[in-house]
Amino acid sequence: MDNTLQQLIDMSRYLGDPGKDFAMLGEGNTSAKIDDDTFYVKASGTTLSTIDGAGFVKVSISKVTGILDDPAAGDDDVTRVLKEACVDPSETRRPSVETVLHAILLQFPEFKFVGHTHPVYTNTILCSKSAEDIANGRLFPDQIVSMGPRSIFIPYVDPGLTLAREVRQRLQRFIEDEGMLPLTIVMQNHGLITMADSPKGVISCMEMTEKAARILVGTYALGGPNFLPPEQVERIFSRPDEKYRMKSIAGAG
């Protein structure tokens, strides 16, 4: 078994561990880039905690993201495109319905692994009236280092293609505004996505987001969160690079 697949299996089992409250049963999905255009993504109907090599499908990034540029495409087309995007034409397993989200992120050379889960405390915030606080508020320095100065917030929209289009559009806007790639994406009434160049990066960011959410939930009982002022957040976070400033994702809109 190749090393990337083994790393992905280990990361997936870790994130799917029932004791961590990130994902249950078939919830959550993960992916890893193989080369510039192909990646492994969790097959539909598999469970992260017990997944093995047979639980992943090899898929083409460009064939998956191609559907986003077709304004006439609907959710029925996603099923067809996901089938066509499988590297092995005789593939019988279906890639996760959230494969498009993974492909959008894996287009970037900086991202090699992606994790998506529905963590309990993060979703406590995301399912509340204070949902945007987890994206925009920062409470302590480790949170800033791990999650970035702010996260992308995706308001609730229909799952599937509508959600994927929303994620791509807000990712584009984030890069334009911040001049960097995001470290975390939070989706209202849904869950969390973390992405990095290693499984360790995906895991630590997910754990820190969940810790921050847990602390945030506690602060509401104690008079409300005392968010760090923006200038402190900026001072603590050292931007990885400036190369994404003014750059845009080809074709995003």
**What is the distance between the alpha carbons of residues 23 and 31, in angstroms, rounded to a whole number?**
15
Query: On the CB side of 70, how many CA atoms lie within 13 Å of its CA?
Result: 15
Closest approach, Cβ 22 to Zn ion, in A, equals: 11
Q: Tell me which amino acid residue 218 is.
A: G
97 vs 32: CA distance, rounded Å: 16
Rounded to the nearest whole angstrom, what is the least distance from the CB of residue 118 to Zn ion in the complex? 6
Nearer to Zn ion, 29 or 143 (CB): 29
The residue sitting closest to Zn ion, measured at its beta carbon, is 191
Name, in order, each residue with C-beta under 8 angstroms of 58's C-beta and a sequence gap of 6 or more: 34, 38, 39, 40, 86, 87, 88, 91
Burial tier of 124 (Cβ tally within 10 Å: 0-12, 13-18, 19+): middle
Q: Which is nearer to Zn ion, 96 or 146 (CB)?
A: 96
Token readout for 132 is 């945007």
Q: Which residue's CB is nearer to Zn ion, number 188 or number 237?
A: 188
Alpha-carbon gap, residue 164 to 37, rounded angstroms? 18
CB of 126 to Zn ion, least distance (A): 11
* Residue closer to Zn ion, measured from CB, 85 or 154: 154
Instruction: Report the nearest approach of Zn ion to the CB of residue 116 (Å).
Output: 6
Residues in contact with Zn ion, shown as a per-residue x/- string from 174 to 193 under the rule CB under 5 A: -----------------x--
Q: Is 248 helix (H, G, I), strand (E, B) or coil?
A: coil
Cα–Cα distance for residue pair 118/59, rounded to 1 Å: 23
Least Å distance between CB 58 and Zn ion? Answer: 21
Residue 191 or 201: the one with the smaller Cβ distance to Zn ion is: 191
- The nearer residue to Zn ion, 117 or 146, going by C-beta atoms, is 117
CB of 225 to Zn ion, least distance (A): 26
Residue with smaller CB distance to Zn ion, 102 or 138: 102
Determine the size of the site formed for Zn ion (CB under 5 A). Answer: 1
Q: Which of 156, 134, 154 shows the shortest CA–CA distance to 143?
A: 134
Applying the rule CB under 5 A, the residues between 20 and 79 that interact with Zn ion are none
> Considering only residues 82-141, where is the footprint of Zn ion by CB under 5 A?
none
Among residues 108, 77, 234, which one has the least CA distance to residue 171? 108
Build a one-symbol-per-residue string for 191-220: x at contacts with Zn ion by CB under 5 A, - elsewhere. x-----------------------------
How many DSSP H helices and E strands does the chain contain? Answer: 10, 7
- Find the shortest distance in angstroms from Cβ 108 to Zn ion: 20
Six token digits for residue 209? 């987001």
Q: Which residues bind Zn ion (CB under 5 A)?
A: 191
